[in-house]
Amino acid sequence: MTRTLLLAPVALAALAVVAPASAQAQDYKGKTITEIVNYPAGGPTDIEGRIVAQHLPDHLAGHPTVIVKNMGGAAGLIGANALGEAPANGETIGFFTMETATQILGNPAIHTPLSNFVLAAGVQSPLVAYMRRDTPPGVNVPADLMKTRDFKALTLNGQNSNTLNLTLSLDLLGVTYLPVPAYVGLKEVETAILQNTGQMANTSLSGWIGSAEPALGNLVIPIWQLTPRDANGGYPRSANLPNLQTFEEFYASVKGSPPPADDIRYRALRTMIDPQLAMFRMALLPPKTPADTVATMRKAFAEMWADRAFLADYARVMKTEPVLVSGDQGQKLLAATGTVPKPIKDFLVDYSTRMTSK
């Protein structure tokens, strides 16, 4: 499938991020940078992370070696905890999927709150929910989801945004299903869908275009996309998925009206997922990384997103172009992950507990 590749305005704006005049660019000659990926090898995060590892050296003085270290597990927390404890010298970075649910739920396994990390760059992304076409009585168009019942929705663990955004969406729609929050990574979910262990799942834009869609082919059909909030407070379709309806559009088409804004499930869904969609992938540095190192790395990522060789490789593998969030802009989103209204936090804690206790 051919898609038009556009460099988003936010990516162009990010190119203005440069090191302060007083800061010296860090020289990486003879050094090796370890890039921690907080999900297993072969999944969407890993695939994107390896493209970054291939091209990042071209934009750092001294052209260092970048090696990828996969540290999957615990909804990305194993890798996040390792980065939080790494030396803040610019020689360890993280390429992570942003995970808001664990932060909101106050997972005791968190060693370093997300808001404490330093952001080098982020990548915006919608999410795609998809389903096997042979789910009884048959799913030939997205609206056929409403005719199904008792199918299995496969996701990561019960305290993960991947799980909660899909189950909350299905609950809002009033669909009867069985949640299976039991997988380490989305590649394992794809395999289970292929084997018909389950019938529905969701993934990122790059996970859909670069992995699930080509791997599963005509076996599955995309149902909706969850997209980031725009400046006007709406949820428009992603430019990369112009023919796939948003969740809000799907809901209105089958229910006759938009999702109720005052429904605690919808409020919780959007409170949890909006910041994640705005910055789905994150290139992070350990807490307290020196300002000159931060400036060097932010500048390198901004330049890389304008590098034709990087964009060509990314587009070849992912079949879409990254939408860059600059370090300065994204740092504000990280800070916001620690401020969630108590009623919504309490609801999500109870919701997650009830799901995992079934």
pLDDT in tens, 52-96: 999 999 999 999 999 999 998 877 889 999 999 999 999 999 999
pLDDT at 125 over 80: yes
Q: Does residue 3 register a pLDDT over 70? A: no
Q: Is the pLDDT at 353 greater than 50, yes or no?
A: yes
Per-residue pLDDT, averaged over 18-40, amounts to: 78
Whether residue 18 has pLDDT greater than 60: no
State the pLDDT confidence band at 296, using cuts at 50, 70 and 90: very high
Confidence of residue 24 (pLDDT cuts 50, 70, 90): low
The string of pLDDT tens digits covering residues 188-231 is 999 999 999 999 999 989 889 888 999 999 999 999 999 988 88
Residue 274 in this model has a pLDDT that exceeds 50: yes
pLDDT band at 249 (very low <50, low <70, confident <90, very high): very high
CATH number of the 127-274 domain: 3.40.190.10
CATH homologous superfamily of 9-124+276-342 equals Bordetella uptake gene, domain 1 (3.40.190.150)
- Where helices occur in 23-160 by DSSP H, the ranges are 44-55, 77-84, 101-105
* Nearest residue to 247 (alpha-carbon basis) of 277, 266, 226, 265: 226
DSSP class per residue in 128-150: EEEEETTSTT--SSGGGGGG--S
As a whole number of angstroms, the distance between CA 107 and CA 349 comes to 10
Classify burial at 306, counting beta carbons within 10 Å of its beta carbon; exposed 0-12, middle 13-18, buried 19 or more: middle
Report the alpha-carbon distance of residue 274 to residue 287 in Å, rounded.
24
Please list the residue range(s) of the chain that carry CATH number 3.40.190.150: 9-124+276-342
Cα gap 226→143, rounded to integer Å: 16
pLDDT given at position 358:
59
Q: What is the pLDDT of residue 107?
A: 80
More confident residue, 15 or 312: 312
Query: pLDDT for 158-185, tens place per residue?
Result: 888 899 999 999 999 999 999 999 998 8
| Contact between 99 and 186 (Cβ < 8 Å) | no
State residue 13's pLDDT score: 38
- Which of 171, 229, 221 shows the shortest CA–CA distance to 201? 221
Q: What is the pLDDT of residue 11?
A: 39
Question: What's the mean pLDDT when you consider all of the chain?
Answer: 89
Interval 123-141 mean pLDDT: 96
SS3 at position 65: strand
Helices and strands (H, E) in the chain, number of each type: 14, 11
| Residue ranges, CATH 3.40.190.10, the chain | 127-274
pTM of the model: 0.79
